Structures are given as C-alpha cells and as structure tokens.
Structure 1
Amino acid sequence: MPYDHTTASTTPPARYGDPIYHPTPVQQPVMPLAELPPGVEMVTLPNGCRTLAYTQPTSPAPAPAAQPIPAWAKTTALLAPTLGGGIAAAGFGISYAAPGLIAMTDALWAAIALIAAGTLAPLLLRAGRGPGRGTTPVQHVTQTITASGMFGRATGTLNNR
C-alpha cells in the first residue's frame, strides 16, 4: 500500500488560550426523533447547541379547590367603608373648625405668656436690685385711733420708728 509522505510542520500545534485557537465542532450522529425513548427530548442549550436531554414529565397542575372566605375577612371588608367614611367626616369637620382652633391656640399662648410674665417679673425685679444698690431701712408706721361713743370724736397717734 503506497503511503503519501508528509513533511513535518515547523509550527507548534495550537493550544487552548492562544488567540488563533478555533476548536472544530464535533458532529455527532443525530438520532431520529421517532426512536427517542420516553423522557428524552431534543433541547437547545444557551450557546446554541442542540442535544438530547432527560426532561421531567409535565403533569397538569391540579385545579385549586374553592376555599370559603374567612369570617375576619368579611368583617374587615364590611368595616373598611365605615372607617373610611368616619375619617372623611372627621377631616371635613376639622376643616370647618380650623379657624376657631387657630384662634383658641393663639389665646392659649397669650394666656401662657401673661402667666409667665406675671410669675417672672417679680423675680427679675428683685434680682435687678441686688444686695448693695438702693437698699434703705424699712420704716414701720403704726397708727392708733380711739373713739368713745357713737358720735364721739376720734383721736389718734402716729408713730414712726
């Protein structure tokens, strides 16, 4: 048998990672779809290759059974409009009462300021005088008045100490 003589190549074989490396796709024999066993299907992978794969049998999901509505849900559903209406009525009432409430708060702040001024004024006046400024001895005046009879003349004495 005659053989063709080949010459040795001077270039090293390409390795994975080299920029010129292009793997050649391997052609595998394709099995006819009619011969596939149950549970095996032809699938397409994310990189575009088509291959055979085992798949899970898909069974139809059972229809959910109708469940009764709980009592708390019915109660909440019935109370929701009532609660919403109450909140709306409260907001409506507050919108009408707002000018009066503002006037009442202004009067309350004025009363608080008056009480604070009346309480703090004597303390500030005493603190402003100090112990050495403007202190004069306290003068005591006593007065004695005497009268005799209903229409008698009153006499009195005045004592300065």
Structure 2
Amino acid sequence: MAYDPAYEITTKALHPDPLAYQPGPARAVMLPQEIPPGVQLVTLPGGQRALAYVQPPAHTPPPTSTAAQPVPAWAKTTALLAPTIGFGIAAGGIGLSYAAPGLIAMSHALWAAGALIAAAVIGVPALISGARRKVAAPTQITQNITATGLFGRANGTINHH
C-alpha cells in the first residue's frame, strides 16, 4: 500500500530583508544568521510560517575506484591448508572404518584383561591367606619385662610359642 502524505511541507527562500517576515509588531523575528544549522523557515499548508528541522539533502559518496588489492598471506595459507585438512580427516575416517573390526576385538580383549587383573588382585591374596591358615597355627609371642627402682635397668625375655 502506497503512503500518501496528508500535507506537503515546502521551503520558502529567505527574503533579503528579515523585517519583511515580521507578521506584526507584537512578534519578534529571528534574523537569518540567528537560525541554527539544519533549521529553515517553512510555509505550512495553512499559510503559516514556522521554523522546522529539515533533512539535509542526501548526498551520494563519490565513486571509489575498485583497484585489485593483493590477497593477504594468511588468506593464501588458509586456502591452501583447507583441502589438506579436509583430506586428512577423510583419510582418518576411512582408516577407522577399515580398522573398526580390529578395534572392537581389541576393546573386548582389554575388557577381558581388566577383568583378569581385577580377579587376580582380589583372588590371589584371598588364596594365600587361606593357605596360610590351614598349614600352621598362629605364633604366640609373650614378653616379660622387669625393672627395679626408679632409674633401674630393664631386663626382658621374649618367648615364641
């Protein structure tokens, strides 16, 4: 839907005599040099004159020359490394796909080795302690220590039964 403005605001050129814009003796008029930049005296559709902010004319930037610029070294290096890295990843994927059956078998073997080590860590000490208990009774050690006086020398005997 097209937008049609209800009113058209037009700009009017300033008169060389600033006193000509004075509507009556009761109102003061700004001199042209007092009007700030970006503000103009405009005539509204009803014939009234007022100060208004206006858009500066859209200026187009001067055409720039599009001279060929050299390609930076980092861009060349990245462009050369991209296929190399891509082919390396592809070769690694293909190698893993060929090695998958062997890797699966190796993981099963590692799980089995881990289970064997865990069983050995728990089972061997249990077997050794069980074998010791059946062979010999525990040794009983008694110790007798005697001393005479406050600063006397202590004498003792140790008996293995």
TM-score range, shorter chain: 0.3 to 0.5
CA radius of gyration, larger in: 1
TM-score by length of 2: 0.46
Higher helix proportion = 2
- Higher relative contact order, structure no. (Cα contacts within 8 Å, ≥ 6 residues apart): 2
